[in-house]
Chain A
Amino acid sequence: MSTKAQKSSALDILKKILSNQIFIPISALLILTIVNLIVDPSFFEISLGYSSDGNPVLSGYLMTIIDYGSELAILAIGMTLVTAASGGQDISVGAAIAIAGSVILRVLCGTETSPETIQAPIIVAFLVSVLVAMAFGAFNGVLVAYFRIQPMVATLILFTAGRSIAAWINNNQLPIVNDETFTYFGGFIPGIPIPTPFFIAIACIIVTALVLKFTNLGLYVQSVGINEQSSRLNGLNPKFIKFITFVILGICVAVAGLIKVSRLSTINYSVIAKDIEMDAILAVALGGNVLSGGKFSITSSILGAYVIQFLTTTLYKFEVQSAALSAYKAIVVIILVVISAPVVREKASAIWKKLVNKKAAAKQAG
């Protein structure tokens, strides 16, 4: 009797794990890890080297993942909120990053293209870019929340115009920042061998966790995403809540923009953060969040972001041409998403149940 009870409780726990949202990105992560272990364990090697100016630097594929996965993770935070509240996605984040990055360079360089010293403190440049990115987020938010335009359509405007606006901000010049400290944000802080974006991402995650803990943002966003009417009759202002998620995404965009321009110390308007919106949306989907809004898990999305970067890096390692990368990615993503689809999972658990029952029956017969 007791063993039976134990068994059923073990099954329950298994079920709980399987039905938990975070199971999806974690299993994807496991699969990728195992594949890499089998094919070439050297994937996981990390080596300590020294950069050109003698600072210790860790390198290896894993470092690449936490480096580039971090900007995606930051975007995934905002994208998750937008998705949950509005039931749609913001496809303009790549273009908005170009704008935010351009603003940072404009403030740092002033009107010169390559000044000897920066014209304003980095923090000021960053804050200005946050304000600008929030304003563009607000623009999207107003279209979606108050004019009730489909989020994808509303953000298509900025998606189309964003990179031109970014170029216009600097008169189509490509300013170069000649300040050592500016490279820290997208690279390494002297003496610390782990890429800085990772710390920035952690800071963002902590801030998000605190906000979710000490405010009702999570409850409000989910309520509005699930049932706007009910939320309104419970005293919420659904329009404002949708609007604010776009503004929050704006902040995330500015942070990602800072990392992006810091990596190069300059900008390439047409290439910077290209297609990043798709990866950010994928991170949300891979995190098991419903793309039509409602309940969400930011933890899952963040994990999803790193999984996507893991996938990208793995493909690069297999020397997939960068032009062909998207196709490969698409295949893997299709598999992941199909496996994690509720329909498939239900079927799988039904088959599993049958198997268990058959075994039990066989045992009884024997």
Chain B
Amino acid sequence: MRENAVLEMRNICKSFPGVKALQNVDFTLCEGEVHALMGENGAGKSTLIKVLTGVYTKDSGQVYIKGSDKAVNIKSPQDAQKSGISTVYQEITLCPNLTVAENIYIGREKGMLLNWKKRNAEAEKVLSSLGINVKPTQQLASCSIAVQQMVAIARAVDMECKVLILDEPTSSLDESEVAKLFTLMRQLKARGVGIIFVTHFLDQVYEICDKITVLRDGTLVGEYEISELPRVQLVSKMLGKELDDMSDIKGDSTASIDMESAPVFEGEGLVSDQGIKPFDFHIRKGEVNGFTGLLGSGRSECVRTIFGADRILGGKVKMNGKSVKITKPIDAMKNGIAYLSEDRKRDGIVGDLSVRENIILALQVKKGFFKPFTKAQANKFAEEYIKLLDIKTASANTPIKSLSGGNQQKVLIARWLLTHPEYLILDEPTRGIDVGTKIDIQKLVLKLASEGMSVTFISSETDEMLRTCSRLVVMRDGKVVGELSGEDLTQNKIMSTIAGGEE
């Protein structure tokens, strides 16, 4: 083992039917180091993590952990925990209806009797030593996601973990919460914990990490000191090719907007039961616009209102100048609106169904109960869009849940493109997917707009929106607080509008 290494993985191989997910991958983690594990979707990051945490059994290779000379055999998550490996996932895996202290100690009780008073006091100590501001007796569900994540980390710390894996911990946090998480990570680093950090946010990698290991197509590309690997290099290593010039994407996106005819969609006083204030909104043919604002500012709720996804409490809607009524998704679909939802897993995919069925679902529902597509038709649609969007799947028959995140997203985009919408709403289409696919999606949006489709594009990465949108609706606390277009479309202007206050 390398000196001061806490974890070494050597020649790890793992294959699934038809896919070699990992081929001879090495990975080394040192004491007191934050180590980013980077790669596109399907590069093998998750597989490597799952091998390390005992969710999958490796086909071959060795894992060494500080404190034992022999290779350890991790066969289950319990084994991993005993070896000092703890994981905090993107989705919280604690019990929401238990208290914070209970969550920290659950499953680790010794003996039959418990002294909860003592436990709470101990929990208090752990939490305060980590600077987590929460009462041990508080119910976990009542804490914010960020605090829940920190409690999960506290649990790991209390178990004296040597290796802490953070799998996309920041994707549902806002900026201040991320900052808090980073403070916590720095503290753990000082204690000598080795941290593996998996994320898609490049900024965060450069802010907190010491080393980067890059994977591509299940093989190791290399391990780098952060100071030796500029961003462009990192991205090109992840993609395995030089990156297109991103600034290329933005053409003159206002050119395709049809200012003459009535707006494709025009809403007045729209409001749903999700706590947003009534808002007005319109979009013209060929226009790309966006909703921006901090997490929880109501941008998703707005587009969900447009699509009728939540309970609609009021508002008037006109499509192409004609009054229509949209109270549920099928109304919106019949009027040519398509909505790619924010939460892919919960609101998007139908996991056990095949890629083909997932692609045709929306069009099929729109067409009607008594008019099913023939198998040949469905196959034709599926093949067409698998090719068009370059969806990587074994076949159209593969269940969608076995695809990587980016490819699942492409299937869902295919689903909505197939309905040939006049107005397409994409809510965070690029969240949690790799850089290559992100650029593909942005290009696609601009191409669709140039062909006359109206698109609403929401992303938590502002530069992505600046690149694609010609008009931004800015939201704060459930209210529309501004609209930016033309010269005003700059990072600074957006920030100041979101923040409010006069300049």
Contact = CB atoms under 8 A, between A and B. Distances in A.
A236 B365 contact: yes
A235 interface: yes
Given A233-B309, A233-B341, A226 B353 contact: yes
A343 to B, nearest CB: 14
B365 to A, nearest CB: 4
A42 interface: no
A230 interface: yes
Nearest to B416: A234
B37 to A, nearest CB: 28
Interface in B294-322: 307, 309
Nearest to B415: A234
Contacts of A217: 369
Contacts of B329: 232-235
Interface in B384-409: none
Contacts, number: 72
Contact of B372 (A215, A226, A227, A235): A215
A222 B353 contact: yes
A294 interface: yes
Counting chain A CB atoms within 10 Å of each CB, the highest count among B333, B372, B415 belongs to B372
B422 to A, nearest CB: 16
Counting chain B CB atoms within 10 Å of each CB, the highest count among A226, A233, A295 belongs to A233
A183 interface: no
Given A219-B361, A219-B364, A230 B369 contact: no
B350 A214 contact: no
Contacts of A52: none
A111 interface: no
B141 to A, nearest CB: 19
B278 interface: no
A217 B368 CA distance: 11
A231 interface: yes
B77 interface: no
B487 interface: no
B228 interface: no
A6 interface: no
Contact of B352 (A220, A226, A229, A232): A226
Contacts of A322: none
B59 to A, nearest CB: 12
A364 interface: no
B43 to A, nearest CB: 26
Contacts of B167: none
Contacts of A231: 350
A214 B370 contact: yes
Contacts of A214: 370, 372
A245 interface: no
B347 A233 contact: yes
A216 B347 CA distance: 21
Interface of A: 213-217, 219-220, 222-223, 226-227, 229-237, 294-295
Interface of B: 307, 309, 328-330, 333, 339, 341, 346-353, 357, 361-362, 364-366, 368-372, 415
25 contacts: A216-B371, A216-B372, A219-B353, A219-B357, A219-B372, A220-B365, A220-B369, A222-B352, A223-B350, A223-B353, A227-B350, A227-B351, A230-B348, A230-B349, A230-B350, A231-B350, A232-B309, A233-B307, A233-B309, A233-B341, A233-B348, A235-B362, A235-B366, A237-B330, A295-B352
